[in-house]
Amino acid sequence: MALGRLLAATTALGLGTLGYSYIEATRRFVVREFTAPVLPAGHEPLRVLHLSDIHLLPGQLPKREWLESLAALEPDLVVNTGDNLARADSVAPLVASLAGLLDVPGVFVFGSNDYFSPKLKSPTSYLSGGTGVDVGGDWSRPRDLPFEDLRAAFTQQGWLDLNNDRGELTVKGTHIAFTGVDDPHLRFDRLDHLPADATADLRIGVAHAPYLRVLDSFNAAGNELILAGHTHGGQLQVPGFGALVTNCDIDRGRANGLHTHRTPGHDASWLHVSAGCGTSPFTPFRFSCRPEATVLTLTG
C-alpha cells in the first residue's frame, strides 16, 4: 500500500509539474531589464528591446496580446534575433502583433524556425541537444516557411536585415554599426565580412544562435555588444543549477541573461542571450525559465 501511495504521489507531482510548465510557457510572459555600459561618455541612454524565439502559432492569443503590449515600453531600438514562426500562416498575425514595434528603428536576423517548420522529435533529443533542423549549411535545402514574406514585412517598415550583412542606424544621436549573421545553428553564418565600423559610436553583433565561433568573431571584430537567442534558456531550469542544455556550444552558465565574451588580446564584449518568448509547438513547456523579452538600457 505504501508503494502504491508513493507511486500515486509521484505521478500527481509529475502531472502537476507538467501542467505548471505548460502554463509557464504559454501564459507567464515577463519583461526583464539589464543595463550595459557600452556607450561613449556623454551619450544619452538607449533602451533596446531584445525579442527572440517567438515561435508564433496564429491561435496563441495570450502571446499575441503580450507582444502588442510591448510597444508601451517605448524602446528606442528593437533587435529581433529570429525563430519567429511555428507555421506558414503565422506571418500575418506576427506582423500585426508587432505593428507598434515596427514603427521603431529595428534590426533582425533569422533562425531555423523562420525557414523550416518545426518537427516532432522525441523528448530525449531535447536533453541531448539534438532539437531543431540540421541542414549542415546546405543552402539549397527547400525552405517551407514564408521567410521572404517575413523579410519583406520587416524591411518595408524600415527594419534592417542583418542576415550575413551589415547596417547602420543613428538612434537619439548615437551612430550604431551592426554586423549580423544568418543562423549559425544551420551553419548559414558567413564570418568573412565581419570587421566592425571603427568610426561608429557603438558596434553591435547580432546572431540567432550564440555559437562560440560567432561570439569569438564578433568580439575580435570590436563589437562592444552581442545579442543572440536560440537557447530558450534551456526551457527547463533547475532552481539553483540553471539550464540543463543550451542547444549549441555555449556553456550552460550563459544560457540566458547578460554576460561577457572575450577572446585573447581583445576587450570583453557584453553578451545578452535571450531565453526567448516561445517554444516549439511540440514542446510547450518551460520551468523556472519564463518566456521573456528584455529591455537593455545602454549607458555611457
Measured from the CB of residue 229, what is the shortest distance to Fe ion in angstroms?
Answer: 7
Indicate the residue among 53 and 182 with the shorter CB distance to Fe ion: 53
Indicate the residue among 53 and 189 with the shorter CB distance to Fe ion: 53
Indicate the residue among 64 and 230 with the shorter CB distance to Fe ion: 230
Buried b (16+ CB within 10 A) or exposed e, 34-65: eebebbeeebeebbbbbbbbbbbbeebeebbe
The runs of H, that is alpha helices, within the chain are 2-27, 61-69, 91-97, 99-102, 112-115, 123-127, 147-156, 212-220
CA separation for the pair 74, 1 (Å, rounded):
59
Rg over alpha carbons for the chain, rounded to the nearest Å, is 19
Name which of residues 65 to 94 contact Fe ion (CB under 5 A).
Answer: 83
CA separation for the pair 147, 85 (Å, rounded):
9
Query: Does residue 201 bind Fe ion (CB under 5 A)?
Result: no
Indicate the residue among 46 and 56 with the shorter CB distance to Fe ion: 56
What does the per-residue mask of binding to Fe ion show for 216-245, with x meaning CB under 5 A?
------------------------------
Residue 179 CB-density burial (10 A; 0-12 exposed, 13-18 middle, 19+ buried): buried
Query: Does residue 292 bind Fe ion (CB under 5 A)?
Result: no
Owner of C-alpha cell 557584453: 270
What does the per-residue mask of binding to Fe ion show for 123-162, with x meaning CB under 5 A?
----------------------------------------
Indicate the residue among 53 and 224 with the shorter CB distance to Fe ion: 53
Question: Would you say how long the chain is, in residues?
Answer: 300
Stretch that binds Fe ion, among 52-60, 89-97, 239-247, 255-263 (CB under 5 A): 52-60
Query: Does residue 53 bind Fe ion (CB under 5 A)?
Result: yes
Measured from the CB of residue 152, what is the shortest distance to Fe ion in angstroms?
Answer: 22
- List contacts with Fe ion (CB under 5 A): 53, 83
